[in-house]
């Protein structure tokens, strides 16, 4: 029977598996930290393979994720679920300083900077004003309810419910609601 050379063996790397399981369950680092009793910074280091957890930590993580210990230690990425559901409270958002424009980030974080999509709500009098994106970037704005006005370059276009505008955003651009009712839209940003 041959004995492996222990000097060349590395401990299992659980980072990718941990991250896949956590994201697949829609858990933030904060939530997993709370459930497992492991600090958020330690979880982040484990996911980036900058730290190898002790057996006790792996055991706590497996229990918090409701998976077998061997699944985390196996080092193999579990297959992605057939359908991944992001709960409403798990969808990040941001607002303009005046609170009149709200964006919900619908796209996955790993596509940021390439292909992004948002749910946009603009209250009456609200304006989402943006600086130039990189050359070749385009936005696609589909109005779902209400009416919006888009300005890009020297051109301004009014849109009503059901209409879509596609325009270059490599210069300053804005989306405004001059109406008396809130407006909602889907906003897609394509980066070159």
State how far Cα 59 lies from the chain centre.
28
Domains of the chain: 15-73 (1.10.260.40), 92-190 (2.60.120.10)
Burial class (CB in 10 A: 0-12, 13-18, 19+), 141: buried
What pLDDT, on the 0 to 100 scale, is given for residue 62? Answer: 86
What pLDDT, on the 0 to 100 scale, is given for residue 155? Answer: 96
Give the Cα separation of 175 and 128 in Å (integer): 5
- Residue 23, sorted as left (phi over 0), alpha (psi -120 to 50) or beta, turns out to be alpha
Percent of the chain scoring above 90 in pLDDT: 42
What pLDDT, on the 0 to 100 scale, is given for residue 7? Answer: 52
Tokens of 99: 């609170």
pTM: 0.59
- Which residues of the chain have a pLDDT value below 50? 6, 76-78
Give the tens place of pLDDT for each residue, 34-84. 989 988 888 888 888 888 788 788 888 888 888 887 777 765 444 566 787
Give the Cα separation of 121 and 53 in Å (integer): 43
What pLDDT, on the 0 to 100 scale, is given for residue 69? Answer: 76
């Amino acid at each position: 029977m041959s004995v492996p050379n222990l000097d060349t063996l590395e401990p299992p790397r659980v980072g990718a598996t941990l991250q896949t399981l956590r994201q697949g369950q829609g858990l933030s680092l904060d939530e997993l930290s709370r459930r497992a009793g492991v600090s958020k910074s330690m979880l982040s280091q484990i996911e980036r393979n900058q730290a190898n957890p002790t057996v006790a930590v792996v055991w706590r993580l497996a229990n918090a994720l409701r998976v077998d210990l061997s699944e985390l230690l196996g080092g193999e990425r579990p297959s992605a679920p057939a359908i991944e559901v992001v709960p409403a409270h798990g969808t990040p958002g941001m607002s303009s300083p005046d609170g009149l424009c709200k964006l919900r980030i619908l796209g996955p974080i790993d596509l940021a900077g390439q292909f992004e999509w948002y749910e946009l709500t603009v209250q009456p009098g609200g304006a989402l004003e943006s600086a130039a994106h990189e050359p070749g970037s385009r936005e696609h704005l589909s109005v779902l309810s209400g009416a919006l006005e888009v300005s890009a370059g020297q051109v301004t276009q009014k849109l009503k419910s059901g209409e879509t505008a596609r325009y270059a955003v490599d210069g300053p651009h804005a989306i405004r609601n001059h109406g008396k009712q809130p407006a909602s839209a889907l906003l897609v940003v394509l980066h070159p």
